[in-house]
Amino acid sequence: MGAASSTYSSSFSCPSSQKKYDVFLSFRGEDTRRSFTSHLHTALCLRGIETYIEYELPKGDDISQSLIQAIEDSTISVVIFSKSYGSSKWCLNELTKILEFSEIQGQLVIPIFYEVDPSHVPNQKGTYQDAFAKQERDLQRKPEKVQKWKHVLFETASLAGWDSQSCRSVFIHSLKLRFHLFL
């Protein structure tokens, strides 16, 4: 198992394995990029788990084809729900793609609730309620899109996952175990 190595493109990944990526990390950058997510990424890489993380995203609401390809090329998607994940159209579109590939290819999806009450995400309470009130105002002409996002949040947040407040030390070991069982 080697240490993490970086590429100088917009993405960062660990050394190669049989699959292109073992894990795809979905997160709201402003909430967790320089804290939880970067530490999780490093820990996974140091354990030989090929991990995709996006560091430089193009501006706009639609996710790029290269990001869609990275999701499709991953065995597991780890979705890090943080306080403002639901306010990001980008994150919600990414989550929609993750669930699509989960249904089509059987990709494992693991939610992590980072400094957010796990019940707030599927039920759109707290910051998620505020975020969706704004999404509904912004997308008045596309209510079906907001309903789709609510559905994918509910579906993903209802999966077995981790609350970062209660199980930090167990997560990496459990993810590695799940990954080996999934193969």
E-assigned strands of 36-138?
51-54, 74-81, 108-113
Q: Which of 56, 94, 103, 144 is catalytic?
A: 94
Q: Is the dihedral of CA 102, 109, 54, 153 positive or negative?
A: positive
94 annotated active-site: yes
**Structure token digits, residue 99:** 């669930």
Sheet holding 162-163, edge to edge: 11-12, 51-54, 21-27, 74-81, 108-113, 162-163
Residue whose token pair is 């999780």: 40
Residues identified as active-site: 94
